[in-house]
Amino acid sequence: QQQVKQSPQSLIVQKGGISIINCAYENTAFDYFPWYQQFPGKGPALLIAIRPDVSEKKEGRFTISFNKSAKQFSLHIMDSQPGDSATYFCAANLNTGTASKLTFGTGTRLQVTL
Amino acid sequence: GAVVSQHPSWVICKSGTSVKIECRSLDFQATTMFWYRQFPKQSLMLMATSNEGSKATYEQGVEKDKFLINHASLTLSTLTVTSAHPEDSSFYICSARWYGRSYEQYFGPGTRLTVT
């Protein structure tokens, strides 16, 4: 019940296209859903995040869509660029009162081709 | 803002020795710091959570006597891998939660540990 399932495992998109990465969860107690971008050999960088009382959040070319009833959320990267080529992780936060921690999805390797 | 540093960025040590990795929040105070481990092409696995001045809370299956965590101040946490073995070789990443921003975690650049 603590898992976050992420798909696809890898994704190839042409420059200018839309990249879509999906995540699903079971635990309705998750209260915060961030997306991270990670380049090889680097730490993850927070991209964008959403709380479950919001259905969509947009920051620049990045949009999170959140479907609470379906327990799914997705990241859309508009006008994808070669510089977006990286691994993307969704995550979900669980706050138990005494602890608050993230569970990560398995990651999606995005390659944006010219 | 929200910069987290780690030192060293990479380290090679011999089997049986101990290695200390530092994690610092440079421009904010971190109520909580986290230590993760990441194997190649895999996701991040939480090892432990530490609060300033308190003992760390370890995830199931993580040996607390092997991975010693000290959170001495609101800007510094250290992870010491004791009696390292080749199977401890991995990418170790810390993150920090900004005091007052209860949800956001900011990650350091990671430390590549190779045990020979």
pLDDT per residue over A73-92, tens digit each? Answer: 999 999 999 999 999 999 99
Cα Rg, chain B, nearest whole Å: 13
| Cβ pair B44:A34 closer than 8 A | no
Weakly modelled stretches of chain A, pLDDT under 70 = 1
Q: A46 and B105: CB-CB below 8 Å? A: yes
At residue A98, the pLDDT reads 73
Closest Cα of chain A to B41: distance in Å?
A: 8
Of the two residues B47 and B100, the one the predictor is more confident about is: B47
Chain A residues with CB-CB distance to B4 below 8 A? 43
Confidence (pLDDT) at B102: 67
